[in-house]
Chain A
Amino acid sequence: MALVGYGASMAERIRKHKATPENRDMSKSNDSVIAANGDKLKAELDDLLDEIDSVLESNAEDFVKSYVQKGGQ
């Protein structure tokens, strides 16, 4: 596998990562992992947004205004 500089086109790079026999199985499992993650995360986000107001600081304006830190490193 020849190394490319940063300027490699997207198409070229995707072929390098996904088309070779030795990594095809890996890519397939990556893709399905990604898809399964997507559904699970969507549901979790909806749940979070349903309950978020009970967790958020009650006065956002005051909260944000009073969050002032000294500069550090």
Chain B
Amino acid sequence: MAIPKVCGIETEYGISVRGTAVNPVVSSTLLINSYLGKYQQTIGWDFQDEHPGTDARGFSLDDVLDPDIEMHLVNRVLTNGARYYVDHAHPEISTPECRTVNEVVLYDRAADEIIRRSMKSANEILPSGSELVIYKNNSDGKGNSYGCHENYLMSRATPFGRLVSEITPHFVTRQIFCGAGKVGCELISMNDGDVPFQISQRADFFEEEVGLETTLKRPIVNTRDEPHCDPTKYRRLHVIVGDSNMSEIATFLKVGTTAIVLSMIEDGVLNHLPFIANPVSAIRQVSHDPSLKETILLSNGSRATALEVQWSLFEAAQKYAMTHDLESVNAESGEQVLAEWELVLNGLESDIDSVANVVDWVAKYRIIEGYARRHSLAPGDVRLKAIDIQYHDLRIDRSLASRAGLRTLIEPDSAVHAMVEPPTTTRAYFRGKCLQKWPDNIVAANWDSLVFDLGLDSLVRVPMMEPLRGTRELTESLLNECSTPAELIDRLAGAAQDL
């Protein structure tokens, strides 16, 4: 059976400062530090187990890669189990590990709220006349892209080669409901006249089918093999092909459908479907066709629209829910994903406008088209590009997404709660709760460990190699019973158990 699809999202945000010349590393640092100083008790990140150069195909580039992670930059762990840091001159938040797709959406929303408060506190520090603004998008429209990555826990036993070929059709076509839309095109060979509007922010930036890179020659399937948990049992599929979503339901669909497709791959039920013949050209072809009418070439020589590929995946998932179950993604969440998936495919097929309350690219496209019509603007007009960027503005009073009538899943109060409280059903619970309780005794943290300073000669490292341990069920009473971290360490040693 497919293993639980523990999952999370990492978002790199666009950052700009008006009125003052500041380099983006400095402004990102200001953004994060002003938030931490004002709102949160945090601890530093522990780099001991970071190996971003290890390749899922069985070799390591750690020694030859440029240092991918700037270790001197701000890098903190929050009490909700998330990580907030500066990466490649962008502020970035990684959600804590989540057991359900609903929780991923919740913690993605919490991340947006953290950014909003960060903007507010940073702007209180900046001189008057300047303003720092954050955008949740993936491109500046000038050939520079920054990512929104997803992570899914996978069984090490699933052959990686099969995983690559069977997930690629989903990665090429899921953009029809989770693309965030873009005015114009950033391929050197094309101009805005060729592609006035496209479905995905990111599709122009993918040049390989599979590979380790994340900043150039980006691959549709990324091979970074850094599980952050027991590597003999698990891998973490690091997905770099998606767009950041403003729509909560789009995030829900992006993560939910992918978790189900990955479960089907683990259970070996997807091998009846053809592959995509040329994934790199196909992902662009799909993105460049908002009519959804174009067909892409399949490995068996036939052709299909992206919608047809999605219907086939949906039908396979519907059958999978009956023959197996959806417990790997949580049965209740899984049923909700199937319902939303069917609804959005039906809407895209019968009347694209009808999904403007769910699908970001459709919501944006309607605003762009409506504005162009009212003001008789030519395709690619700079005002349309401004609307594109402003759709993703995280200031509520300036955001166009917040005025687009998008359906929501998360109560605002829950998002605020999730800024500081961890999810309860993964090891993020133990991380977050220890940090709430003993911030002065924890000197560093990572996804898979906590390092305590008990005032002794050496530090004590608590490994957390199982993403589904350290939950509320397993550790709440232990944490309540221990009044000091030394007591906790003793109890853990006495029980001879890793978390």
Contact A8 B87, CB 8 Å, known A40-B405, A68-B140: no
Chain A, interface size category, equals: 35 or more
- Whether the Cβ atoms of B90 and A70 lie closer than 8 Å is yes
Cα distance, A71 to B146, chains bound together (Å): 6
The CA of A31 and the CA of B315, in the complex, are separated in Å by: 19
Q: Please give, as numbers and ranges, the residues of chain A lying within 8 Å of B357 by CB-CB distance.
A: 37, 40-41
Q: Quick one: which of A19-55 are within 8 Å of B by CB? A: 27, 30-31, 33-35, 37-38, 40-42, 44-46, 48-49, 51-52, 55
Contact of B274 (CB < 8 Å), options: A5, A31, A33: A5
CB < 8 Å neighbour of A7 from B145, B298, B385: B298
B346 CB, min distance to chain A CBs, angstroms: 5
Q: Given the interface contacts A70-B88, A72-B147, does A60 sit within 8 Å of B351 by beta carbon?
A: no
* B385-A64 in contact (CB<8A): yes
When distances are taken between beta carbons in the complex, the residues of chain B under 8 Å from A13 are 308, 311
The stretch that binds A, out of B38-46, B366-374, B435-443, B480-488, is B366-374
Q: Which B residues touch A6, using CB under 8 A?
A: 169, 273-274, 298, 302, 304, 308-309, 312
- Chain B residues whose CB sits within 8 angstroms of the CB of A61 once the complex forms: 382
Contact bitstring B287-322, A, C-beta under 8 A = 1, else 0: 000000000001010111000110110011001000
Contact assessment for A48 and B404 in the assembled complex, using a CB-CB cutoff below 8 Å:
yes
* Distance between Cα atoms of A14 and B478 in the complex (Å): 55
Chain B residues, CB < 8 A from A66: 16, 18
A34 to B14, CA, bound (A): 34
**B156 interface residue per 8 A CB criterion:** no
Contacts of A7 in B (CB 8 A): 274, 298, 302-304, 308
**A45 neighbours in B (Cβ, 8 Å):** 356, 366-367, 370, 405
Q: Does B54 contact A (CB under 8 A)?
A: no
Residue of B nearest to A61 (CB): B382
Q: Is the CB of A41 within 8 A of B140?
A: no
B347 adjacent to chain A (CB < 8 Å): yes
The reply to whether the CB of B400 lies closer than 8 angstroms to some CB of chain A is yes
Surface stretch bound by A, among B386-394, B412-420, B456-464, B466-474: B386-394
Q: Let me know if B87 and A5 touch, CB within 8 A.
A: no
Specify which chain B residues have a CB less than 8 angstroms from the CB of A35 in the assembled complex: 354
Residues from 202 to 241 in B contacting A, C-beta threshold 8 Å:
214-216, 240
Q: Which of B87, B350, B353, B403 is in CB contact (< 8 Å) with A72?
A: B87
Known: A41-B357, A66-B16, A70-B144. A3 touches B382 (CB 8 A): no
Interfacial chain B residues near A68, Cβ < 8 Å? 140, 142, 144
User: Given the interface contacts A44-B405, A49-B371, does A71 sit within 8 Å of B309 by beta carbon?
Assistant: no
Q: How many residues of B contact A (CB 8 A)?
A: 70
Q: Evaluate contact between B367 and A52: CB separation under 8 angstroms.
A: yes
Please give, as numbers and ranges, the residues of chain A lying within 8 Å of B146 by CB-CB distance. Answer: 69-73
Contacts of B343 in A (CB 8 A): 30, 33
A63 and chain B: residue at smallest CB distance = B386
Given contacts A38-B353, A56-B386, A73-B147, contact A67 B16 (CB under 8 A): yes
**A30–B350 Cα gap in the complex (Å)?**
11
| Bound complex: CA A48 to CA B90 (Å) | 30
Question: CA A42 – CA B363 in complex, angstroms?
Answer: 11
- Using Cβ atoms and an 8 Å threshold, which residues of chain A touch B428? none
Q: Are A64 and B319 in contact (CB under 8 A)?
A: no
Query: CA separation between A64 and B216, bound complex, in Å?
Result: 24
Residues of B within 8 A of A3 (CB): 272, 312, 315-316, 319
Residues A55 and B356 in contact in the complex (CB < 8 Å), given A1-B319, A60-B386, A70-B88: no
B272 touches A52 (CB 8 A): no
Closest beta carbon of chain A to B65's beta carbon, Å: 13
A41 touches B353 (CB 8 A): yes
List of A residues within 8 angstroms of B383 by Cβ: 56, 60
> B115-148 interface mask toward A, CB cutoff 8 Å, 1 = contact, 0 = none?
0000000000000000000010001111011110
Complex Cα gap A57–B397 (Å): 12
Pair A73/B319 contact, Cβ less than 8 Å: no
Query: Whole-angstrom distance from the CB of B415 to the nearest CB of chain A?
Result: 23
Complex alpha-carbon distance, A54 and B2, angstroms: 51
Docked pose: A66 CA to B144 CA in angstroms: 13
B108 at the interface (CB under 8 A from A): no
Return chain B residues, CB-CB under 8 Å to A56.
Answer: 383, 386-387, 390
A31 to B350, CA, bound (A): 9
A72 touches B141 (CB 8 A): no
Could you list 6 examples of A-B contacts with CB < 8 Å?
A: A5-B298, A7-B308, A64-B386, A69-B140, A73-B12, A73-B149
A7-B304, A72-B89 given; name 18 further pairs at CB < 8 Å.
Answer: A3-B272, A4-B312, A6-B309, A7-B298, A34-B354, A45-B356, A48-B370, A49-B371, A52-B367, A55-B403, A69-B89, A70-B89, A70-B146, A72-B12, A72-B144, A72-B146, A73-B12, A73-B214
Residues of B within 8 A of A (CB): 12, 14-16, 18, 24, 87-90, 135, 139-142, 144-147, 149, 169, 214-216, 240, 272-274, 298, 300, 302-304, 308-309, 311-312, 315-316, 319, 342-343, 346-347, 349-351, 353-357, 366-367, 370-371, 374, 382-383, 385-387, 389-390, 397-398, 400, 403-405
